[in-house]
Amino acid sequence: MLKKILKIVGIVLVVLVASLFAIPYFFKDQIKAKISEAINKKVDATVSFADADLSLFKNFPKATITLDQLLIINKAPFEGDTLVSLGELNLNMSIKELFKGKEEAIQIEGITSKNGFINIIFNKDGIGNFDIALKDNKAKDDTKSDPMLLKIQKYQVENFKFQYFDEGSQVRMIIDSLNHEGTGDFNASKLDLDTKSTAKISLDMGKINYMKNVALSLDAVLGIDLDKSKYTFKENKALINQLPLEFDGFIQMVDAGQLYDLKFKTPTSSFKNFLGLIPAVYASSLEGVKTTGDFTVNGFAKGMLTDTTIPKFRIAIASNNGSFQYPNLPKSVQSIVIDTKIVNETGIMNDTYVNLDKLSFKIDQDIFNAKANIKNISTNALVDAALKGTINLANLSKAYPIKLDKPLTGILKADVTTKFDMASVEKSQYQNINNAGTIGVTGFNYADANGKNMAISSALVQFNPSQVHLKQFNAKTGKSDLSVTGVLDNFYGFMFRKQELKGNFNLTSNQLAVDDFMTTSAAPVAVAAENQKTKKAEPLKIPSFLNCTLTAKANTVLYDNLTLKAVSGKMIIKDEKVTLENVKTSIFGGTIGASGAVSTKGKTPVFDMNLNLNQVDIQQSFTQLDMLKKIAPIAGIVNGKINTTIKLNGNLDATEMTPDLKTLSGDLVGQLLSTTLNANSSTMLKALSSNLKFIDLNKVNLNDIKAALTFKDGKVNVKPFDIKYQDIKAVVGGTHGFDQSMDYNIKFNVPAKYLGKEANAYISKMSPSDAAKFDNIPVTALMTGTFSNPKISSDMKTVLTNLTMQLAKQQSDKLVKKGTSELDKLLNKNKSTTADTTKTNAQKEDIKKKAGDLLNSLFKKK
């Protein structure tokens, strides 16, 4: 009996579990239909989701509907803008809700979502993109019930990003990494909502950044009155970075806008509060830190937030005679005084002002003071500030746990005052800017993570009303030394309005090693290899904000394996492009001049250069520079110098900024100076010499030969040019590839005397006028294969055969003609006798025999 009961129970359990798996499939289509109906009935936007799923296990005993990739896209006037994007949206409800009829509303008890993005935009007309609710339509049947009703008990969002942008005021706020949850009974008109929130906030007004990734957290119980739309802070604890704050008061939604009546303050006055305000990336643990003095933040916000007004508010930050010292650090920061107020007394945004009346601190005997006032912040901010003091940089890491691989050294001295308005900065109206003073650094030393050390012996910046002068900058790093002076024209425009950084600089150096200014990865090989699998190297880009000119002179520049002497020229940086003008250097026994440009503005960086090589050693330049080696590989076996102009352009490798030879195109025109061929060092010339016995390539003089070639798509076309060896003339032309393949021909005009002993024997018997007819015998040589594995062919065999036949025929014709002439003389004599006739016949037979013997002798030889 027991076995039967257990068997029945087991069967029931299996059926129940199977049902839990099967039920979602029966209700899935019905749920998707109700969700689509609920959304489309409420909003005027394009709404879509990838899929809808139903689970009875996710939040058992509740049922959970999951929407994947929910998107809400705006219609006009924000056509195509994303309003909401949710990676996942979960709706929790009682299982019994699944069994309601098609006309019955489903009640939602909980909402959770992950990986969301909410994008709120106000255009210049003050219209918000979030106003997508369909307007009431009297023609509609209001008696029809909603397909879904909210009966929320709990909600949660995870990893959300909220973005707010007002095109009119240019205010942008981003709340990133937002995690928030709340628990409360929304069925009641009055409830206490228990919330937990963490986020990072950034705020920009115009082109000025006020906050960047400031960490916020808030645990609060909010008293909510749904009838009055009133939210009251009850128990709460907030952190800005690590600064604790407490709030008291309420926010209420009214017809005119939002009503604020809030107060806030730090719960204690300990100076640790100030250290907690420092962003976490720069801060360290506050445990064990000794402090004296106080630090407080308090304030209020009271009034209406509408389209034209903001609440009146006051934020006061104060410290008096504060100090702190971290454990295990030898120095302390003392005599800290802070007196800062951010105030609005009218409710008009532009009347907000910031007064940093005093900021002062001391490390050992070094005292630093600062003050600043900012007014008129939303239209044309007015800034009045001053800095004065001395800081021993070595003491910074001894007094505060700065995360540096190597400690800083050096003395910073500042005495600067500035007064300006943002409109003048933006319009470059320097007459309205009043700057004065200097900032200087001496004995600065810093070593980066790769061990590269930068030592600045002295640097001095002087502030004038219209410009910032770099009066002095002397530094050494690695094998390099440099001295820089110059002028910045719009320093404040760059700092506050993100304008171009305009300037002119002069650089001098005894020696510059390019490697000293290249960045390398300090990651271990294994880590670097792993990173390469997942991430491509970042392409090098010329900064878009630079608009500068640099005039440089260096006695020596070390680049790769090259040593350049007496380098000078001008470099113009603008619009993500570097333009070189009148660049000169001594190298390879001569000089090289360069002009051109490199641009990284497009997807692929490009370059366009003109080079002028003067009296340059051919072997050094065309073997040490890979690009020239590809263009003219034969030049490596030429001894002597060259004058040449090279025009070339193409793409650059995006990470190493080296030419992509597959895209290289251009032309080269050159003149050889006092040059000869080193045939013994070339496989190709050895093979050519063995095929053409009449020429000794080692004795060929290439002096003053002019050559022209063009190159494109990895192919080089050499325009035919003339060379001469003794009384032999030749024309050389053809093509080769950057892959070292070649297809060349040489057309010779060779005197017959160089073509063999037999030819010389016949020519020696000729008269000068007859021999001259054989001074230009055409011979053609073809060179294919590669430079290292050449294939040489010529028409020498055919030429020699034809030449021999021509010489033999000429000799035969000459002898026959001579014999015929003598015979005619005999026949024309009047005194003929039989004996004479017999003698004449004998002479004719003798002439024929000699001619035949001559021809036989010739054709038995080559």
User: How does DSSP assign 293-346, residue by residue?
Assistant: EEEEEEEEEEEEE-SS---EEEEEEEEEEEEEE-TT-S--EEEEEEEEEEEESS
Q: Give the pLDDT band (50/70/90) at residue 844.
A: low
In DSSP terms, 214 is beta-bridged to 201
Q: What is the pLDDT of residue 8?
A: 42
Pairwise pLDDT comparison (849 vs 157), residue with the higher score: 157
By C-alpha distance, which of 416, 414, 412, 333 is closest to 372?
416
Q: How confident is the model over 95-138, as pLDDT tens digits?
A: 766 666 666 666 778 888 899 998 988 888 878 887 877 765 43
By C-alpha distance, which of 583, 529, 519 is closest to 557?
583
Distance CA 847, CA 812 (A): 11
Residues 265 and 160 in one domain: no
pLDDT at residue 758 is higher than 80:
no
Per-residue b or e along 747-768, where b marks 16 or more CB atoms closer than 10 Å to that residue's CB:
ebebbbbbbbebbeebbeebee
331 part of a folded domain: yes
pLDDT at residue 24 is higher than 60:
no
| Average pLDDT rounded to a whole number, residues 61-78 | 83
Q: What is the pLDDT of residue 9?
A: 39
Residues 276 and 399 in one domain: yes
pLDDT at residue 398 is higher than 50:
yes
pLDDT at residue 353 is higher than 80:
yes
207 part of a folded domain: no
Q: Are 683 and 638 in contact (CB under 8 A)?
A: no
pLDDT at residue 142 is higher than 60:
no
Residues 380 and 258 in one domain: yes
What value does the CA radius of gyration of the chain take, rounded to a whole number of Å?
46
Per-residue b or e along 567-600, where b marks 16 or more CB atoms closer than 10 Å to that residue's CB:
bebebbbeebbbbbeebebebbebbbebbbebbb
Lowest mean pLDDT among 294-308, 335-349, 695-709, 845-859: 845-859
Per-residue b or e along 7-42, where b marks 16 or more CB atoms closer than 10 Å to that residue's CB:
eeeeeeeeeeeeeeeebbeebeeebbebbeebbeee
Classify residue 663 by its DSSP letter. Answer: G
Residues 128 and 259 in one domain: no
Domain that residue 364 falls in: 241-403
| Average pLDDT rounded to a whole number, residues 560-565 | 84
**502 three-class SS:** strand
Is 0.75 topped by the overall pTM?
A: no
Residues 267 and 389 in one domain: yes
Last residue of a domain, one of 403, 431, 449: 403
Most confident of 127-131, 140-144, 403-407, 756-760: 127-131
Torsion 375-381-382-383 (CA) sign = positive
Residues 246 and 357 in one domain: yes
Residue the block writes with tokens 């305000």:
277
Pairwise pLDDT comparison (190 vs 764), residue with the higher score: 190
Q: Give the pLDDT band (50/70/90) at residue 17.
A: very low
Residues 31 and 161 in one domain: yes
Q: What is the pLDDT of residue 842?
A: 59
Q: Are 405 and 389 in contact (CB under 8 A)?
A: no
pLDDT at residue 647 is higher than 60:
yes
Residues 259 and 354 in one domain: yes
In DSSP terms, 252 is beta-bridged to 230, 259
Residues 164 and 21 in one domain: yes
pLDDT at residue 643 is higher than 80:
yes
| Average pLDDT rounded to a whole number, residues 742-770 | 75
Mean pLDDT over all residues of the chain?
A: 80
Q: What DSSP element (H or E) covers 649?
A: strand 638-651
Q: What is the pLDDT of residue 149?
A: 59
Q: What is the pLDDT of residue 12?
A: 38
Q: What residue type is assigned to position 452 of the chain?
A: K
745 part of a folded domain: no
Residue 50: count other Cβ atoms within 10 Å of its Cβ: 10
Pairwise pLDDT comparison (204 vs 493), residue with the higher score: 204
Most confident of 113-122, 403-412, 489-498: 113-122
User: How does DSSP assign 170-234, residue by residue?
Assistant: TEEEEEEEEEEEEE--TTSSEEEEEEEEEEEEEEEETTEEEEEEEEEEEEEEEEEETTTTEEEEE
Q: What is the pLDDT of residue 536?
A: 52
User: How does DSSP assign 135-162, residue by residue?
Assistant: PP-TTS-TTSPPSEEEEEEEEEEEEEEE
Q: Which positions ≥6 away from 407 have C-beta within 8 Å?
A: 394, 397
Last residue of a domain, one of 403, 435, 462: 403
The total number of structural domains in the chain stands at: 3
597 part of a folded domain: no
Distance CA 618, CA 632 (A): 10
In DSSP terms, 202 is beta-bridged to 174
How far from chain centre, in Å, is Cα 257? 46
How far apart are the two ends of the chain, measured CA to CA in Å?
Answer: 122
Residues 158 and 300 in one domain: no
Residue the block writes with tokens 């008696």:
143
264 part of a folded domain: yes
Kindly state the tokens that stand for 618: 């051919």
Torsion 351-352-355-356 (CA) sign = negative
469 part of a folded domain: no
Pairwise pLDDT comparison (18 vs 838), residue with the higher score: 838
Q: What is the pLDDT of residue 14?
A: 39
Q: What is the pLDDT of residue 660?
A: 84
Interstrand relation of 366-375 and 546-559 (parallel, antiparallel or unpaired): unpaired
Q: Give the pLDDT band (50/70/90) at residue 21.
A: very low
Last residue of a domain, one of 359, 382, 403: 403
Phi, psi of 66 (to 5 degrees): -115, 125
Q: Are 434 and 496 in contact (CB under 8 A)?
A: no
Most confident of 132-146, 201-215, 451-465: 451-465
588 part of a folded domain: no
User: How does DSSP assign 621-643, residue by residue?
Assistant: HHHHSHHHHHH-GGGGGEEEEEE
Pairwise pLDDT comparison (85 vs 493), residue with the higher score: 85
Q: Give the pLDDT band (50/70/90) at residue 328.
A: confident
pLDDT at residue 18 is higher than 50:
no
Residues 152 and 248 in one domain: no
Exposed (0-12), middle (13-18) or buried (19+): which is 125, by Cβ within 10 Å?
exposed
pLDDT at residue 858 is higher than 50:
no
Distance CA 862, CA 812 (A): 17
Q: What is the pLDDT of residue 680?
A: 72
